[in-house]
Amino acid sequence: MSNIPEEMRYTSSHEWVRMNDDGTVSVGITEHAQELLGDIVFVETPEIETEFTAGEACCVVESVKAASDIYMPISGEIVDANPALTDTPEIINSSPYDDGWIFKINPANEDELEGLMDAQAYEDSIEE
Amino acid sequence: MSQQTILYDKHVQYGAKIVDFAGWQMPINYGSQMEEHKQVRTDAGMFDVSHMVVLDLEGDNVIDFLKKLLANDVSKVTNSAGKALYSCMLNERGGVIDDLIVYYLNDQWFRMVVNAATRDKDIAWISEQAKGFGVTVKEGTTLAMIAVQGPNAIQKALSVLPESCKSIASELKRFVGQPCGDWFVGRTGYTGEDGFEIMLPETEAADLWDQLAQAGVKPIGLGARDTLRLEAGMNLYGTDMDEDTSPLQAGLGWTLAMNDQRDFIGREALQAEKTAGPAMKFVGLVLQAKGVLRGHQKVLVEGIGEGEITSGTFSPSMGVAIAMARVPAQTAELVQIDMRGKLVDAKVVKLPFVRDGQVCVEI
């Protein structure tokens, strides 16, 4: 059974989204996603200050097994990327929801968050 | 319909993630593929390879038969009991039907190990060719096979082998195998490390697995098996070569015995290719940037032409991406790889990348 924290929102492409106190949102991949990918060896994080719309591929996570695009869960501007992933990409495997966050967004429209799945809906989606 | 080896319950018990491989439910890893890879390079690991196919070839004309069937020459091993030979089995067009290992046991008996994914076509082809030689082909369906590999593999395996096998196994030279009772131990493998491949009755396999684990040999999945063999520069059938690929274009020229007039299947086609000069050659690549090389990525050789990666991965031993690739014979020292639309540099190197725990190429 995968760990799916209650306080976050999720996408069908296995990103998680956490609302931060400063109005930004953090994005990473779920425990289920890192299990599917296996050992992660390289992350190409997005450029800061780039804007993407929801659903656009914005960076790449590569494991020994496969390369996987990461999609913008909501529209917005990239305001931060996790510098630790350059030398220790494996923290996505060991701590997908905390140390292994990938980037932060300044949302263009917070209402888009409502369109994402809650923990229960995500759990149901991966059990199908 | 997916099959399970006799060790399936052990894999589940040891925490394996199971995937389908060639119709078999096999462990891809038991947690971390990277750690398993390093375990084999630095200590000892064990692989369930019971899905592979063991064939006993017997008959008075078995030597003549294999001289016709195989592109390598079994005469190289018939002076020494148990000596193993790696060879391609070719079709008339010089394409590779399978790659295999054959152990010489005596003048009437060879034991062959072929790939699981090619089982049916191999047995059909071998049986068809064997007809004219009066050679019987018998599949060892009740055997399990466990490979124990790594710098400490032999010492740890010897500590748990049955008494009847210990002295025989401890005296094996590299690339030699010997029966001991109804077991068979070969000092062979698919990782670039020293070790044994042990064939034994299925009923005894789970006990050996547990005993090896207690001796500190960790279970290793197919994921690490692939990165280990790739670092060792060892081909994977179906990926690096197939029925439409000549061994001359798969880095397997060294396995072809063509110096005498021996008539083997595929010889004429190879001879013609040699005379014309092969258009492509098989090389190693080391990526000069971040990212991971993957099979089927395009290789661009400036001013010369294009090739393709056949196997690529991230090398846990080297910390960079590596690949095996088929490139134009006149390749450059530096080539470009089309990685998801971006062109990145890779260095052309001679295989293998890693042997006996040591990196053999410049990164």
Instruction: Give strand pairing partners of B237.
Output: B241
Q: Which amino acid is at B141?
A: T
- Put simply, the answer to whether A62 touches B34 (Cβ < 8 Å) is no
Asked if A58 contacts A81 with a C-beta cutoff of 8 angstroms, the reply is no
Residue B275 is encoded by which pair of tokens?
């005379």
Per-residue confidence in pLDDT tens, chain B, 363 aa = 689 999 999 999 999 999 999 999 999 999 999 999 999 999 999 999 999 999 999 999 999 999 999 999 999 999 999 999 999 999 999 999 999 999 999 999 999 999 999 999 999 999 999 999 999 999 998 999 999 999 999 999 999 999 999 999 999 999 999 999 999 999 999 999 999 999 999 999 999 999 999 999 999 999 999 999 999 999 999 999 999 999 999 999 999 999 999 999 999 999 999 999 989 999 999 999 999 999 999 999 999 999 999 999 999 999 999 999 999 999 989 999 999 889 999 999 999 999 999 999 998
Q: Which of B32, B33, B292 sits opposite A67 (nearest CB)?
A: B292
Instruction: Give strand pairing partners of B138.
Output: B56
* Whether A65 contacts chain B with CB within 8 A: yes
Q: Which of A44, A65, A93 sits opposite B223 (nearest CB)?
A: A65
* Whether A90 contacts chain B with CB within 8 A: yes
Choose among B232, B274, B266, B230: nearest CA to B88: B266
Asked if B96 contacts B89 with a C-beta cutoff of 8 angstroms, the reply is yes
Report percent pLDDT > 70 for chain A: 98
Specify the long-range contacts of residues B338-344, CB closer than 8 Å, at least 24 apart.
Answer: B338/B297, B338/B298, B338/B299, B338/B300, B339/B291, B339/B293, B339/B297, B340/A60, B340/A67, B343/B300, B344/B287, B344/B288, B344/B289, B344/B291
Asked if B351 contacts B283 with a C-beta cutoff of 8 angstroms, the reply is yes
Between β-strands B298-301 and B84-90, what pairing exists: parallel, antiparallel or unpaired? Answer: unpaired
Residue B37 is encoded by which pair of tokens?
């890879």
Q: Which of A41, A90, A93 sits opposite B292 (nearest CB)?
A: A41
* Whether A38 contacts chain B with CB within 8 A: yes
* Whether B312 contacts chain A with CB within 8 A: no
Using a CB-CB cut-off of 8 Å, the residues of chain B touching A38 are: 28-29, 32-33, 223
Mean pLDDT of A74-92: 97
Query: Which positions 97-126 of A are in contact with B (Cβ < 8 Å)?
Result: none
* Whether B30 contacts chain A with CB within 8 A: no
Instruction: Give strand pairing partners of A68.
Output: A61
Q: Which of A67, A90, A93 sits opposite B340 (nearest CB)?
A: A67
pTM for the predicted model, two decimal places? 0.94
Dist. CA B44–CA B353, nearest whole Å: 20
Dist. CA B40–CA B150, nearest whole Å: 5
Residue B306 is encoded by which pair of tokens?
């294009």
Q: Apex CA B306: angle with CA B301 and CA B309, to 5°? A: 100
Using a CB-CB cut-off of 8 Å, the residues of chain A touching B316 are: 64
Q: Which of A35, A38, A42 sits opposite B223 (nearest CB)?
A: A38
Residue B353 is encoded by which pair of tokens?
């990348």
Instruction: Find the helix or strand (DSSP H, E) in which B62 lies.
Output: helix B62-69
Choose among B55, B56, B54, B6: nearest CA to B26: B6
Chain B interface disruption, residue of A36, A41, A59, A94, most B CBs within 10 A: A41
Dist. CA A52–CA A70, nearest whole Å: 12
Using a CB-CB cut-off of 8 Å, the residues of chain B touching A85 are: none
Phi and psi angles of residue B86, each rounded to the nearest 5 degrees, phi first: -95, 135
* Whether A60 contacts chain B with CB within 8 A: yes
Mean pLDDT of A7-34: 97
- Put simply, the answer to whether A39 touches B34 (Cβ < 8 Å) is yes
Inter-chain CB pairs, A–B, below 8 Å: 39
* Whether B340 contacts chain A with CB within 8 A: yes
Instruction: Give the distance from CA B331 to its chain's centroid.
Output: 26
Chain B interface disruption, residue of A37, A45, A64, most B CBs within 10 A: A64
**ipTM, 2 dp:** 0.84
CB atoms within 10 A of CB B328: 16
Asked if B134 contacts B60 with a C-beta cutoff of 8 angstroms, the reply is yes
Domain A9-113 architecture: Beta Barrel (2.40)
Dist. CA B150–CA B194, nearest whole Å: 6
DSSP helix/strand/coil, B362: coil
Going from the C-alpha of B55 to that of each of B111, B136, B195, B238, B268, the distances in angstroms are: 6, 10, 22, 20, 27
pLDDT at B340: 86
Chain B interface disruption, residue of A39, A61, A94, most B CBs within 10 A: A39
* Whether B314 contacts chain A with CB within 8 A: yes
Instruction: Find the helix or strand (DSSP H, E) in which B41 lies.
Output: helix B33-42
* Whether A64 contacts chain B with CB within 8 A: yes
Cβ-based neighbours of B115, under 8 Å, separated by 6 or more: B22, B52, B53, B98, B99, B100, B122, B237, B238
* Whether B266 contacts chain A with CB within 8 A: no
Going from the C-alpha of B20 to that of each of A103, B49, B99, B116, B226, the distances in angstroms are: 34, 14, 21, 12, 15
- Put simply, the answer to whether A64 touches B314 (Cβ < 8 Å) is yes
Q: Apex CA B11: angle with CA B35 and CA B102, to 5°? A: 85
